[in-house]
Amino acid sequence: MKDIAQRANVSVSSVSLVLNNKPSRIPKETKNKIRKIAEELNYRPNSAAVFLSKKISYNIGLIVPDITNPFFAFLTKTIDERLRASNYSTLFADSNNSFEREVQIINNMISHGVDGILLVPSNKFFYQPHNKLQEMIDNLNKPLILLNASSDLRVNSVNFDNVLGAIMATEELIKYGHKSIAFIKGKDHFVNAPERYQGYKDALKKNDILLNPNYVFEGDYTIQSGYQVAPNIFNQRDITAILSSNDLMLFGIIKWAKEHRENVFKRFSMVGFDNNPYTEIIEVPLTTIDQEIGKMADKAIDLLLTILREKVRDSKQIIIKPRIIRRNSIKSEHSR
């Protein structure tokens, strides 16, 4: 800026006013001259200087547990697009489903001056003692928003109504006459897993269907875990439908069936969770629960920017209603 001021024969403060588009009485001709010289000198604002003067970096940290999961990949891309539209940059990191790495990443991001953090917690996050998590959050001195997770912590969060989503999915199968519905749940300490299992149980109870523990299977939200439980589901001859806590585990069942020459689409009606992009293009497109990632990104960013702008301290929990995407993977139980 000093170089520009020298060449334009003006003060450094005049250069600052022009390049930051601040109101001034500087003649238009002089403004154009300053901008032209700045372009010739390839001027770029010093982000460190901006941070020191304004205490704002225009950087937001985003942490996800597994970027190879299409749900988190799409969420990351959507958040980055929304932040760029608000003139913010995204500092991204993958925690690899490790709580220790989450803590390390959060500390690193804060030391690099991020204005706030969006955290999609790992499955190990809520495995920690409640008081330990609350103390960590209280000591951050930066706004933190949990995404895709609800908790009783004093923390801002944006999540979907997982209980309602599982109720909608189960009742969609019941509507077609299915009563022997297998459920593939996540492990008990997994994020959102207990809520989805609760929704399945609530829907059965509401429709006077007894819960059969032999119809409940457990996976870890991966294709491999769906593959591993597939033979146990196929061996239960009375099961007519499958509800999975995410789409990936259904992909695992489909993979196992193909390898063992079983017609999984003829044998079972199926519903998944997440509206993975591939659910639409497989042999029989899957009915699934869509969690409206775009809406989650918008709500989270709006909340974070409001906190930054208005210095809000009270925590807020936002719950988004899911919707069901109906495709061709459900058929009437009587047509089997």
- Domain ranges in the chain? 2-44, 58-160+293-321, 162-291+324-335
2's tokens = 């000093």
Stretch 84-108: mean pLDDT: 95
pLDDT of the residue at 46? 61
pLDDT of the residue at 336? 55
CA distances in angstroms from 278 to 130, 286, 294, listed in the order given: 37, 9, 18
Residue 23: which pLDDT band, with cuts at 50, 70 and 90? confident
Residue 142: which pLDDT band, with cuts at 50, 70 and 90? very high
pLDDT of the residue at 43? 81
- Judge contact between 146 and 159, C-beta under 8 A: yes
Lowest mean pLDDT among 135-149, 167-181, 198-212: 135-149
pTM for the predicted model, two decimal places: 0.81
pLDDT of the residue at 54? 55
Residue 293: which pLDDT band, with cuts at 50, 70 and 90? very high
Element (DSSP H or E) covering residue 316:
none
Strand, helix or coil at 269?
strand
User: At CB < 8 A and 24+ separation, what contacts does 75-83 make?
Assistant: 75/120, 75/147, 75/148, 75/293, 75/296, 75/297, 78/293, 78/294, 78/297, 79/118, 79/297, 79/300, 79/301, 82/297, 82/298, 82/301, 83/301
Stretch 141-166: mean pLDDT: 94
- Judge contact between 183 and 200, C-beta under 8 A: yes
The answer on pLDDT for 48 being more than 80 is no
Element (DSSP H or E) covering residue 57:
none
For all residues of the chain together, what is the average pLDDT? 92
Residues in the chain: 336
To 5 degrees, how large is the angle CA 140–CA 143–CA 147? 110
The answer on pLDDT for 85 being more than 70 is yes
The answer on pLDDT for 55 being more than 80 is no
Express as a percent the part of the chain with pLDDT over 70. 96
Domain 162-291+324-335: state its class. alpha beta
CA distances in angstroms from 323 to 160, 242, 285, 295, listed in the order given: 10, 18, 16, 12
pLDDT of the residue at 21? 80
Residue 53: which pLDDT band, with cuts at 50, 70 and 90? low
Strand, helix or coil at 143?
coil
| The domains spanning 58-160+293-321 and 162-291+324-335 adopt the same CATH topology | yes
Distance of CA 50 to the CA centre of its chain: 30
Cα 244 to Cα 97: distance, rounded to the nearest angstrom: 21
Stretch 268-291: mean pLDDT: 94
Nearest CA-CA partner of 99 in 77, 71, 129, 79:
129
Cα 62 to Cα 60: distance, rounded to the nearest angstrom: 7
Residue 334: which pLDDT band, with cuts at 50, 70 and 90? low
Strand, helix or coil at 72?
helix
Domain 58-160+293-321: state its class. alpha beta
The answer on pLDDT for 184 being more than 60 is yes
- Judge contact between 246 and 70, C-beta under 8 A: no
Cα 48 to Cα 21: distance, rounded to the nearest angstrom: 19
Lowest mean pLDDT among 6-20, 70-84, 251-265: 6-20
